[in-house]
């Protein structure tokens, strides 16, 4: 974990109260904290840093079954392909991650990628604003993202047919090695950061996968600075197995279009404006004969600069 994060981290179990975490028993390699314990001075909760990866999930968090599946190897291979297949010119690949990150162009850093999966958009943000943090509830996803950064690429096996697999590999181009990045395991509905840290934040294909999507969006707004840009992209594939319809943003006959409902919800917070802003298509690969093409609708939200105060 990069030492820069120490100034930003708060106890996720104490939110909405923001209690800064202290570090003890740390072992460092340069600016990287390889191991240690992050402790809350209020509730006493301790969060481990092991092999450079900090686990900042709230104490006692029970991962819902729909989210737990993201720690499986097959889905990891699907997301590695989705995020990086364009780097080996796979004809089925898209450039969606770069398109998502470009929606925040002009914003100042640092950047936050909430629900980062295996980290491609985090890298794209860092290349634009200098430093970005990716968080995900899947330990496997964030461990893979850290490994990709550490090794400058990755070789992995993707399903081909039945029990057969095929090897895929990629190296990060120079533009994706320019910025600084860090990845944490954290709950997107309890972001472990103090308020007003990030100049740009993205929530990609996550809102419809959470049991409390409104709580997640309010968390994204809380950690955004003034000014800031928040990019929300989602296919809005609502399911009652994940969240009850009354928790959805739109998607019912009574509540209407989800992109419009999401924009209206974000604009309720003073100092924020939001609007629907088109869509981006991306793909997941299951095996050589099965691909899933998904279209995510965009909502662009901006927080205005803080008003100047006269003496």
Q: At residue 308, does pLDDT exceed 80?
A: no
User: Of 238, 228, 220, 231, which is closest to residue 97 (Cα–Cα)?
Assistant: 231
3-class DSSP state of 12? helix
- State mean pLDDT over 292-306: 95
- State mean pLDDT over 177-181: 91
Measured between alpha carbons, how far is 47 from 69 in angstroms, rounded to an integer? 23
- What's the pLDDT tens digit per position in 48-77? 999 999 999 998 887 776 676 777 789 999
User: Of 309, 222, 304, 12, which is closest to residue 137 (Cα–Cα)?
Assistant: 12
* pLDDT confidence bin for 311, thresholds 50/70/90: very low
Measured between alpha carbons, how far is 77 from 171 in angstroms, rounded to an integer? 16
| pLDDT value of residue 306 | 78
> Would you say the pTM of this structure is higher than 0.85?
yes
Residue 157: strand pairing partners: 167
| pLDDT value of residue 109 | 84
- What's the pLDDT tens digit per position in 70-100? 777 899 999 999 999 999 999 999 999 999 9
How many C-beta atoms lie closer than 10 Å to residue 55's C-beta?
Answer: 14
Measured between alpha carbons, how far is 47 from 24 in angstroms, rounded to an integer? 11
Q: What DSSP line would sit under 23-56, residue for residue?
A: EEEEEEETTEEEEEEEE-TTT--EEEEETTEEB-
| pLDDT value of residue 69 | 72
- Phi first, then psi: give them for residue 60, nearest 5 degrees: 75, 10
Measured between alpha carbons, how far is 6 from 134 in angstroms, rounded to an integer? 15
Q: At residue 252, does pLDDT exceed 90?
A: yes
| pLDDT value of residue 60 | 82
| pLDDT value of residue 105 | 87
User: Of 24, 22, 26, 21, which is closest to residue 10 (Cα–Cα)?
Assistant: 21
Q: At residue 39, does pLDDT exceed 70?
A: yes
* pLDDT confidence bin for 307, thresholds 50/70/90: low
* pLDDT confidence bin for 310, thresholds 50/70/90: very low
- What's the pLDDT tens digit per position in 194-233? 999 999 999 999 999 999 999 999 999 999 999 999 999 9
CA-to-CA separations, 302 to 87, 155, 269, in angstroms, rounded: 31, 38, 11
| pLDDT value of residue 108 | 87
Q: What percent of the chain clears pLDDT 70, i.e. is strictly above it?
A: 97
Structure tokens at 260: 């419009």
Provide the edge-to-edge strand list for the sheet that holds 46-50.
Answer: 22-29, 32-39, 46-50, 53-54
Contact at 8 Å (CB) between 7 and 21? no
Provide the edge-to-edge strand list for the sheet that holds 180-185.
Answer: 180-185, 131-136, 111-114, 198-204, 224-234, 290-303, 272-287
- What's the pLDDT tens digit per position in 106-147? 888 899 999 999 999 999 999 999 999 999 999 999 999 999
Measured between alpha carbons, how far is 262 from 44 in angstroms, rounded to an integer? 36
Contact at 8 Å (CB) between 233 and 202? yes
Contact at 8 Å (CB) between 228 and 107? yes
Domains parsed from the chain with CATH numbers: 1-59 (no CATH), 62-303 (3.40.50.150)
Tokens 């294909």 identify what position? 205
Q: What percent of the chain clears pLDDT 90, i.e. is strictly above it?
A: 89
């Amino acid at each position: 974990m990069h030492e820069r994060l120490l100034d930003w981290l708060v106890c996720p179990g104490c939110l909405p109260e923001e209690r800064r975490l202290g570090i003890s028993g740390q072992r460092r390699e340069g600016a990287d904290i390889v191991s240690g314990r992050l402790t809350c001075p209020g509730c006493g909760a301790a969060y481990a840093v092991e092999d450079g990866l900090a686990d900042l999930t709230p104490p006692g968090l029970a991962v819902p079954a729909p989210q737990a599946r993201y720690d499986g190897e097959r889905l990891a291979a699907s997301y590695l392909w989705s995020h990086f297949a364009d780097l080996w010119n796979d004809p089925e690949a898209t450039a969606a991650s770069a398109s998502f990150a470009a929606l925040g162009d002009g914003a100042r850093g640092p950047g936050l990628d909430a629900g980062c999966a295996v980290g491609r958009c985090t890298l794209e943000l860092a290349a634009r604003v200098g430093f970005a943090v990716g968080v995900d509830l899947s330990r496997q996803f964030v461990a893979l993202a850290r490994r990709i950064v550490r090794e400058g690429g990755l070789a992995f096996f993707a399903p081909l047919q039945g029990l057969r697999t095929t090897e895929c590999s990629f190296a990060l181009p120079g533009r994706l090695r320019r910025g600084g990045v860090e990845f944490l395991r954290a709950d997107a509905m309890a972001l472990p950061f103090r308020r007003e840290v990030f100049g740009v934040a993205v929530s990609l294909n996550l809102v419809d996968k959470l049991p409390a999507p409104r709580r997640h969006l309010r968390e994204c707004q809380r950690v955004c600075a003034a000014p800031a840009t928040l990019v929300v992209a989602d296919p809005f594939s609502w399911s009652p197995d994940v969240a009850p319809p009354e928790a959805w943003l739109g998607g019912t006959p009574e509540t209407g279009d989800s992109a419009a409902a999401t924009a209206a919800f974000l604009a309720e917070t003073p100092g924020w404006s939001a609007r629907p802003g088109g869509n981006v298509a991306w793909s997941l690969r299951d095996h050589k004969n099965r691909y899933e093409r998904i279209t995510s609708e965009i909502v662009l939200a901006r927080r205005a600069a803080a008003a100047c105060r006269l003496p």
